[in-house]
């Protein structure tokens, strides 16, 4: 994810190429969400990406990171979703991320309303031939694999898949692997990779491989399944440099992969 390195998009691309990664995930660039950028800016982004020999893995949007009773925000977010789909199709992608509204209480109390609110989004996805991939997010109603499983069973739509985030599940107090992942493993198209631990009673982000999440097991399980892996470390070292945090996490990730492949 480019903004985990820098808001200077070209600098982020230089670092990505130097690290040896072949894809970039677009979220915020030049301090603006990608869905807020003009068509001219999107074409400029593509030109930069092509120049560095990199491909786009995902066009992120904040769709449904709002309160469920915010009707004005809801209409705005359906428009955001339409824009995210437009840009995703421009980059020849068949999916885009959505969330499940800010947490206000137990999922059981709100699940029917969430299902109702998802229907226009699903209709749009079906019309455009784009999968909606739900990211489990600990600040939203659905933060764990167990909650995702419950929601998918209730929703019953082939157009809804999963963006699995083990770090978010950990923050939502679930054991991400194998417990949470096994609940939704047949629906995962994409993964965000971040590590975490509890230190002195507080949740903290860590470089990949230095937290409490079983990334060796998790990656061993997905490495040959065609699931797209995207580093979204959220870890910032004492220097305060997000780029250094990404470099450290990328090294940890590659070390785990080498260990798996060597084993």
The CATH number assigned to the domain holding 201 equals 3.20.20.150
Q: Please return the burial class of 34, using the count of CB atoms within 10 Å of its CB with bins 0-12, 13-18 and 19+.
A: buried
Among candidate residues 126, 120, 122, 125, the one with its CA nearest the CA of residue 71:
120
Question: Cα(213)–Cα(165) distance, rounded to whole angstroms?
Answer: 11
pLDDT at 223: 87
When divided into structural domains, the chain yields a total of 1
Contact criterion met (CB below 8 Å) for 187 and 162: yes
Among candidate residues 234, 193, 238, the one with its CA nearest the CA of residue 215:
193
Domain that holds residue 74: 2-262
10-residue stretch averages of pLDDT, the chain, 263 residues long: 95 97 96 97 98 97 97 98 98 98 97 98 98 98 98 98 98 98 98 98 97 98 93 92 96 96 78
Which residues have CB under 8 Å from 145's CB, separation 6+? 136, 164, 169, 174, 176, 179, 180, 181, 182, 183, 184
pLDDT at 263: 59
For tokens 């066009």, the residue is 59
Question: Cα(124)–Cα(119) distance, rounded to whole angstroms?
Answer: 9
Q: Please return the burial class of 126, using the count of CB atoms within 10 Å of its CB with bins 0-12, 13-18 and 19+.
A: middle
How many Cβ atoms from other residues are within 10 Å of residue 43's Cβ? Answer: 12
pTM for this predicted structure: 0.97
């Amino acid at each position: 994810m480019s903004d985990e390195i820098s808001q200077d998009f070209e600098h982020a691309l230089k670092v990505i190429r130097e690290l040896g990664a072949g894809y970039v995930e677009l979220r915020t660039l030049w301090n603006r969400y990608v869905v807020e950028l003009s068509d001219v800016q999107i074409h400029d982004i593509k030109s930069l990406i092509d120049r560095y020999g990199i491909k786009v893995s995902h066009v992120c949007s904040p769709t449904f990171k709002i309160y469920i009773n915010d009707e004005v925000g809801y209409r705005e977010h359906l428009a955001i979703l339409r824009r995210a789909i437009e840009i995703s199709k421009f980059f020849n992608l068949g999916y885009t991320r959505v969330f499940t509204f800010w947490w206000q209480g137990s999922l059981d109390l709100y699940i029917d309303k969430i299902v109702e609110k998802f229907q226009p989004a699903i209709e749009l996805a079906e019309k455009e031939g784009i999968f909606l991939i739900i990211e489990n997010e600990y600040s939203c109603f659905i933060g764990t694999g167990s909650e995702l499983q419950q929601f998918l069973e209730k929703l019953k739509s082939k157009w809804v898949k999963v963006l699995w985030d083990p770090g978010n599940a950990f923050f939502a107090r679930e054991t991400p692997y194998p417990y949470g992942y096994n609940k939704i493993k047949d629906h995962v198209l994409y993964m965000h990779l971040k590590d975490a631990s509890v230190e002195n009673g507080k949740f903290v982000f860590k470089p990949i491989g230095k937290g409490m999440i079983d990334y060796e097991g998790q990656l061993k399980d997905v490495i040959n399944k065609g699931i797209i892996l995207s580093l979204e470390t959220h870890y910032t070292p004492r220097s305060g440099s997000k780029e250094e945090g990404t470099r450290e996490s990328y090294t940890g990730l590659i070390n785990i992969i080498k260990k798996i492949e060597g084993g």
